[in-house]
Every structure is written in structure tokens, then in C-alpha cells.
Amino acid sequence: MIKHILFDLDGTLIHFDHHLFMENYLNLLGRKFASITDPKIFANHVLTATGHMLKNIEHTKTNADVFWQYIDQNVDISRTTLNPLIDEFYQNDFNELKKMVTVPKILPILNNLIEKAIPVSLATNPVFPLIAVKSRLQWGGLDHIPFQRITHYENSHFCKPQLAYYQEILDAIDLSPENVLMIGNDVHEDLVAGELGIKTYLLTDFIINKDNRPIKSNYIGTVDQLAKDLPKILA
């Protein structure tokens, strides 16, 4: 019996062109720090630090620890200088990217789950701070959803597609994998949850299958089909 539903964010709850988003994100970030460092070099450091988070397997370090360890070692600017600018960036500049986001027809599904008191969590790849994740939820009109857990770089020690990422969520929500459903659009990063025994639903509206992997999912369909399937899955 499904007792909890995990939702991916990008491509599932909100949609944008990933490459264009990252290009604009890094340009905005570099511009914010242009007065104290070379913007392109700084943006590249952020990109490299993100890569370190994606590869991290040290359970004693949060993704934020990994990110800042790289920045501290490779960017010759003190945290006392960086931190206020980072905070300002995510509170203000980052929101310029809102115009790039469109919202799939999934909001009524979420609202229906909340009305039925079915717990939901946001299983987005935790490479951003919580403030950035909350901004993206707000862009999609999803900031009212009472997610039990939101994965972000401050509270997570692993990233997708590592199984440890999903195990950490299971531990946090205190449920067995067979009682959890993961809904996402990435054949590798989201469906890998099935290897732990988590039920999976692949959304095909904005499907991502970078390596052309064989699709192994309990359920497959569009957002419209998901709306029809969920009552049966939850029965």
C-alpha cells in the first residue's frame, strides 16, 4: 500500500529548458560577483563544485559541505564576503529566471492528494540551497504544498542517481520502500529508486533518457494519465 509519494521537481512539477536555464543561471551568478572576481571563472568554479556534490559518497558530509569545501579551496575570497552576496543572489537575482518556467498540468493532482491527506515529499536533486528550491516552487505556484521533506544541499548527503539519496529519504520519512511511490521524468535519476523497492511512475510529458536506457518502471504515462492512474494505485 502506498503511504507516501515523492515528486521530482524539474520536468515533473515545473518545466524549463535545462541547458538554457543553466546558462542564464551561471551568467546571473557571475554578474553578481563581477565586482570582486572574474565572473566566468567564478561561474566555472560553481559548476565544478556542483559536479563534486553529484559525485559525493561521503555520508559524513552534506552536499553543502562538499560544495563549500571546493569553493574554500579554489576561490580566494573569504566566506564573510561570499555569503552575503550568495544570500542576496538567491533572494533577488535568482528570481529573474522565473520567466523561463512553465507549469505542467500537475497542480490539481497535488491539491487532490493534499485534500486526501496523502503525504508528499519533494525529491529534487539536492544541488541547490533550500532558498533556491523554495523559489522554484513559488515560480510554479507550488509554495502552498506542505511537503513533508524537501531535499536540498543543506540536508542531503547524496545526489541522484545514487541509491543512498533515496535511502536517506526513506530514513527521513520512516517508511519501507514498498510503501512509497516516486514520480519523475528522468529514466535514470528517478527510476533508479525502483532498485530499492520504491514503486516508480515515469512521466513522459518531458521525459529525459540521456543514455537511451531501457525503461523499467511500475507505471508510465502522461500527467493526464497519472490523474487517472493514481486513484487505482492508492486504492
pLDDT tens track for 46-69: 999 999 999 999 999 999 999 999
pLDDT for 103 equals 84
Domain 4-16+101-234 classification at class level:
alpha beta
Separation CA 165–CA 157 (nearest Å):
7
CB 198 within 8 A of CB 21: no
The beta strands (E) that lie in the chain are given as 4-7, 120-122, 180-184, 199-203, 219-221
Per-residue model confidence (pLDDT) at position 104: 76
Which region holds residue 192: left if phi is over 0, alpha if psi is between -120 and 50, else beta? Answer: alpha
pTM of structure: 0.96
Q: Render pLDDT for 86-136 as a digit per residue (tens, 0 to 9).
A: 999 999 999 999 999 998 789 999 999 999 999 999 999 999 999 999 999
- Identify the three-state secondary structure at position 220: strand
Average pLDDT over the chain, rounded to an integer: 96
Contacts of 32 (CB under 8 A, 6+ apart): 85, 88, 89, 93
What's residue 145's pLDDT? 96
At residue 180, the 3 state secondary structure works out as strand
pLDDT bucket at 7, cuts 50 / 70 / 90? very high
Cell of 149: 521533506
